[in-house]
Amino acid sequence: MQEAAHVATNAVHHVGGDVVHAVAAAAHNVHEAVVHQAEASSHSITHMMMHLIIQLAVIIVVAKIGGYLFQRFLKMPSVLGELASGMLIGPYALGGMIDIPNLGILFAESHGFAATPQLYGIATLASIILLFLAGLETDLAAFIRYSVVGSFVGLGGLFAAFVLGDLCAVFWPGNGIDSFMDPAALFLGVISVATSVGITARILAEKQKMASPEGVTILAGAVFDDVFGIVTLAIVMGMAKVSLGGGEVNWGEIGIIAAKAIGFFVVVTALGLIFSRKITAMIKKFKSTEIIVSICFGLALLLAGLAEMAGLAMIIGAYIMGLALSRTDLAHEIEHHMEGVYNLLVPIFFCVMGMMVDFAAMKPVLIFGSVYSLLAIVSKVVGCGLPAYAMKFNLRGSLRIGLGMLPRGEVALIVAGIGLASGIIDQGIFGVSIMMTVVTTMLAPPLLVKSFEGGSGLRKEMDGGGEDVEVIELAFPSRDITEFLLNRFVRALQAEEFFVHHLHTEQPTYRVLKDDIAFTLVQDGGKLIINVPQANQHVARMILLEELLSLTDLLESTKQMKDLDEMGSDLMSGLFA
């Protein structure tokens, strides 16, 4: 493209000289350009593909190793390692310097964007997979009837983060942003909204505080945070579209846009929930799980595309589709089948996000970034801590909850990526968002561990044993048996209408909730570890016993199967006949 344009521009430069000659030259150049282009179009697709495949090879290997190092040695979520790998190998760092013969620059800017459309396409696909699975793992029904404290904590943090993030941009001098409704300001608000509870969950699990009142509240708050974060993004996308179109956004219009965005969310989710059973019943006619999973994912892609066409973002559609399917019995099956795709593609997304960080563009906004990050911390600590303090927690407990809600992660990165790709935020602001994500995620663990020293976080000790957690460990003879049993167990719990939340942590961790019952299941190699608070232990044990008995029955029936016996005697007779 650049070449053809360049040729034409050349022709124009000749205007001052011999005009006829210039036109002839232009004609010649254009002819050459067209021929060149035709050649390029047939040849370069293989070259582009070769380049893409080598880029993917480098990204997958480096991102996976980076993620591993961060997880293993820094005890940080692997997403930070993937991000850091991207910064290292991106076009603004090493990748822009490595020039391979017969290939060219390993990672070069393409039309002012850090990734080629073909690489960004795979990253986009990964972001949709991420949000689809996030939706799938949220249980909306449980969410609706869930803890009041959790909802206030989630909403408080969300509101504070959004307002402070936006205002930070408005009051910062010299950036040209002077209105709360400026699309860039709105994006800075919405980027700082979504809490990523993964690292908090791991620390809670390690310190055996998952079933503590603070732990339960944090995990409940995070669910609200997820759902309302997506709704907020929908509203902001609507407002940004109006602003970008040159329109002034007044409060009346915001009402309409918000109503539309919430309407889209509620109506589509409701339709999804109502029809999901019918649709899945229809899809199930295909019998093969593989086809069923693919078609469900195809529908998620379709809703993602439609959401974007409706002026929202693709991830909103993907999340809603996941949410709609979360109440069906396919949820666990889809999640299980898509795990491989998730593991392979999602790190590519985070690495590509890291590659987009342009250090040169970040330099002038470093101070702004520090203030923005600080406000992102304050907003969650205060925004989540205040409602907690107003309910049943003391200062210590409120601080723990605020710190638990501190880390930002996947969703913040995706939203920042959307802002950059759509041109709403520039590379500087994008870098600032990455900085905020990294700072909050890295600060949370030490602060959280520190805060859990000392006594109870409740205003007055509630019924004595509220914080005593029972740890039940079951050791099985092999890892695959444990995995098998865990999967069966999760499915049985879901069939009994439990809300089972799969946390993407290093070890498979499931959070099980229903009404007042809450416990966690962690698979650690061949061991199954169950954390259950004293108060719930009777119910939890009852359910576990029931499940174990039915498993024992199943194993017994397998062992004593007629066929196995027959086969054994068959074998003997065959051998000695």
**In the window 315-374, what residues touch its own copies (CB under 8 A)?**
337-341, 343-345, 347
Report whether 200 contacts 404 (CB < 8 A). yes
Stretch that binds its own copies, among 194-202, 273-281, 515-523, 546-554 (CB under 8 A): 546-554
Binding to its own copies in span 162-181, by CB under 8 A? none
Find the length of the chain. 577
DSSP letter for 531, please: E
- Least distance (Å) from its own copies to the CB of residue 217? 26
Number of Cα atoms under 13 Å in the Cβ half of residue 112: 8
Stretch that binds its own copies, among 15-23, 183-191, 386-394, 450-458 (CB under 8 A): 15-23
- Least distance (Å) from its own copies to the CB of residue 135? 16
- Residue closer to its own copies (CB basis): 185 or 314: 314
As a whole number of angstroms, the longest Cα–Cα distance in the chain is 104
Stretch that binds its own copies, among 221-229, 264-272, 283-291, 406-414 (CB under 8 A): 283-291
Size of the site for its own copies (CB under 8 A): 125
Q: How far apart are the first and last CA of the chain?
A: 79
Establish if 473 lies at the interface with its own copies (CB under 8 A): yes
Establish if 250 lies at the interface with its own copies (CB under 8 A): no
Q: Which of 352, 427, 420 is nearest to 55 (CA)?
A: 352
- Residue closer to its own copies (CB basis): 141 or 567: 567
Residue of 98, 122, 443, 447 that binds its own copies (CB under 8 A): 122
- Least distance (Å) from its own copies to the CB of residue 97? 19
Instruction: Tell me the C-alpha distance between 210 and 204, whole Å.
Output: 5
- Phi and psi (nearest 5°) for 110? -125, 115
Stretch that binds its own copies, among 172-180, 324-332, 435-443, 566-574 (CB under 8 A): 566-574
- Residue closer to its own copies (CB basis): 22 or 374: 22
Distance of CA 84 to CAs 90, 112, 246, 249, 310, Å? 10, 21, 37, 38, 34
Residue of 20, 73, 246, 252 that binds its own copies (CB under 8 A): 20
Establish if 281 lies at the interface with its own copies (CB under 8 A): no
Establish if 450 lies at the interface with its own copies (CB under 8 A): no
97-101-103 Cα angle (round to 5): 80
DSSP string over 387-436:
HHHHTTB-HHHHHHHHHHT--B-HHHHHHHHHHHHTTSS-HHHHHHHHHH
Establish if 26 lies at the interface with its own copies (CB under 8 A): yes
Q: Which residues pair with 62 in a beta bridge?
A: none
- Least distance (Å) from its own copies to the CB of residue 548? 6
Residue of 96, 108, 118, 449 that binds its own copies (CB under 8 A): 118
Residue of 370, 394, 456, 487 that binds its own copies (CB under 8 A): 487
- Residue closer to its own copies (CB basis): 146 or 430: 430
Establish if 94 lies at the interface with its own copies (CB under 8 A): no
**Residue in this structure with the two tokens 């109870």, named with its chain if needed:** 456
- Least distance (Å) from its own copies to the CB of residue 270? 22
For residue 167, give the amino acid letter: L
Binding to its own copies in span 185-214, by CB under 8 A? none
Starting from the edge strand earliest in sequence, which strands make up the sheet with 469-475, in order?
A: 469-475, 527-533, 517-524, 509-514, 499-503
Residue of 305, 386, 392, 456 that binds its own copies (CB under 8 A): 305
- Residue closer to its own copies (CB basis): 153 or 429: 429
Report whether 372 contacts 188 (CB < 8 A). yes
